[in-house]
């Protein structure tokens, strides 16, 4: 939810603006987890990956500013990004923009968008309203899938849960290796039962991937890594944060790490970081990965 102002002090908006500006400067000029300059192993490829729930481009000030989102990502120099809460011609809150197309163009990346919701346009001749998850990549995208999982509708929460689309998968060509990248957004409600079911369904999807093909899962999982409902996930993947990293939510006063990057055993983690940015109510998560390169490793 968008942060609300506290109190009536006239200086509060100024202080908030300074905090957001300072955070933007820190993100832009203190890039963590730098690209390795030393020669790498000829059998492995190095990647920088980012997980980010962008809240439709709305920052701590409540304004939709997709350029601010783009600057946050640009400063982190990612090769692959998993995104949640992406608007595509959704509503006035994001100026009816196609946010994933705009980010892909701005960052010179390829993109795949997986809508959770697709609604009729506000008027005849306009594009449909869509909201969901996405993956951005500098690598070639060779396959895409919009997977279904059980969800409680945010538009009609009174309705029973049912399987809906909205979990993005892309297969990337990484120097001859097929790299599977997923973007997932699990249920946010305190009751873990829906998340538990979603984890089972996600594991079923992962099990269909060919053996030996590496996986990266980006997710706003709406639970910390130690949550019991996430435990089955860690039997197949492992989180990139070791020891557990900085909390990611809410940005103004982070208290819990619910945003994660998880990888399969073939992938090694060289570094991880949680840089500050006021471009969303979630903080981005950055990781440096080393992945087997099929072109050189066979």
H or E segment to which residue 83 belongs: strand 80-88
Distance CA 248, CA 255 (A): 7
- Relative to beta strand 110-119, strand 80-88 is unpaired
Q: Name the pTM for this structure.
A: 0.88
- For a pLDDT cut of 90, what percent of the chain falls above it? 82
Res 13 pLDDT > 70: no
Q: Is the CB of residue 223 less than 8 Å from the CB of residue 214?
A: no
The pLDDT of residue 11:
39
The pLDDT of residue 25:
39
H or E segment to which residue 106 belongs: helix 99-107
Q: In angstroms, how far is CA 87 from the centroid of its own chain? A: 14
Distance CA 80, CA 288 (A): 11
Could you tell me the pLDDT band of residue 42, with boundaries at 50, 70 and 90? confident
Q: In angstroms, how far is CA 216 from the centroid of its own chain? A: 11
How many Cβ atoms from other residues are within 10 Å of residue 121's Cβ?
12
The phi and psi torsions of 218 (rounded to 5 degrees) equal -100, 135
The pLDDT of residue 240:
94
Q: Which residue has the higher pLDDT, 122 or 112?
A: 112
The phi and psi torsions of 292 (rounded to 5 degrees) equal -55, 135
Q: Is the CB of residue 257 less than 8 Å from the CB of residue 272?
A: no
H or E segment to which residue 71 belongs: helix 66-76
pLDDT digits (tens, 9 = 90+) for 218-270: 999 999 999 999 999 999 999 998 667 799 999 999 999 999 999 999 999 99
SS3 content of the chain, % helix, strand, coil (to 5): 25, 35, 40
**At 99, is the secondary structure helix, strand, or coil?**
helix
Average pLDDT over residues 99-127: 97
Res 110 pLDDT > 60: yes
Domain spans of the chain?
Answer: 43-297
For the beta sheet containing 215-220, the strands, ordered from the edge strand earlier in sequence to the opposite edge, are 141-151, 162-174, 177-185, 215-220, 259-263, 238-239
Res 24 pLDDT > 60: no
The pLDDT of residue 50:
99
Q: What is the largest CA-CA distance in the chain?
A: 65
The residues, ordered by sequence, that sit 6+ positions from 33 with a Cβ below 8 Å of its Cβ are 48, 270, 271, 272, 273, 286, 287, 288
pLDDT digits (tens, 9 = 90+) for 57-91: 999 999 999 999 999 999 999 999 999 999 999 99
Could you tell me the pLDDT band of residue 37, with boundaries at 50, 70 and 90? low
Could you tell me the pLDDT band of residue 295, with boundaries at 50, 70 and 90? low
The mean pLDDT value of the chain amounts to 89
CATH of 43-297, one of 3.30.1360.120, 3.60.10.10, 3.30.70.360, 3.40.50.970: 3.60.10.10
Distance CA 109, CA 139 (A): 8
**At 22, is the secondary structure helix, strand, or coil?**
helix
Under DSSP, the state recorded for 231 is G
The pLDDT of residue 243:
67
Res 40 pLDDT > 80: no
Q: Is the CB of residue 229 less than 8 Å from the CB of residue 191?
A: no
């Amino acid at each position: 939810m968008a942060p609300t102002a506290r109190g009536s002090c006239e200086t509060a908006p100024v202080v908030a603006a300074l905090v957001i500006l300072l955070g933007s400067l820190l993100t832009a000029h203190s890039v963590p987890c730098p690209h390795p300059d030393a020669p790498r192993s000829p059998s492995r490829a190095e990647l920088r990956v980012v997980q980010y729930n962008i809240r439709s481009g709305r920052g701590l000030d409540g304004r939709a500013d997709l350029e601010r989102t783009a600057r946050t990502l640009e400063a982190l120099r990612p090769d692959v990004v998993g995104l949640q809460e992406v608007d595509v011609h959704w509503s006035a809150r994001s100026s009816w923009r196609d946010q994933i197309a705009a980010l892909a163009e701005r960052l010179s990346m390829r993109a795949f968008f997986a809508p959770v919701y697709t609604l009729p346009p506000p008027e005849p001749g306009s594009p449909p309203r869509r909201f969901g998850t996405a993956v951005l990549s500098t690598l070639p995208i060779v396959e895409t899938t919009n997977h279904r999982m059980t969800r409680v509708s945010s538009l009609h929460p009174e309705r029973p849960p049912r399987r809906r689309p909205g979990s993005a998968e892309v297969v990337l060509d990484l120097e001859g290796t097929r790299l599977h990248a997923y973007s997932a957004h699990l249920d946010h409600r305190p009751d873990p039962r829906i998340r538990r079911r979603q984890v089972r369904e996600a594991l079923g999807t992962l099990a269909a991937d060919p053996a030996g093909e590496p996986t990266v899962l980006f997710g706003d999982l709406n639970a910390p890594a130690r949550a019991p409902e996430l435990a089955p996930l860690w039997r197949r993947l492992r989180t990139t944060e070791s020891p557990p990293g900085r909390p990611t939510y809410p940005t103004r006063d982070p208290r819990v790490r619910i945003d994660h990057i998880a990888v399969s055993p073939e992938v090694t983690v060289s570094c991880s970081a949680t840089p500050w940015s006021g471009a969303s109510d979630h903080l981005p998560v950055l990781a440096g990965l080393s992945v087997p390169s099929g072109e050189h490793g066979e």
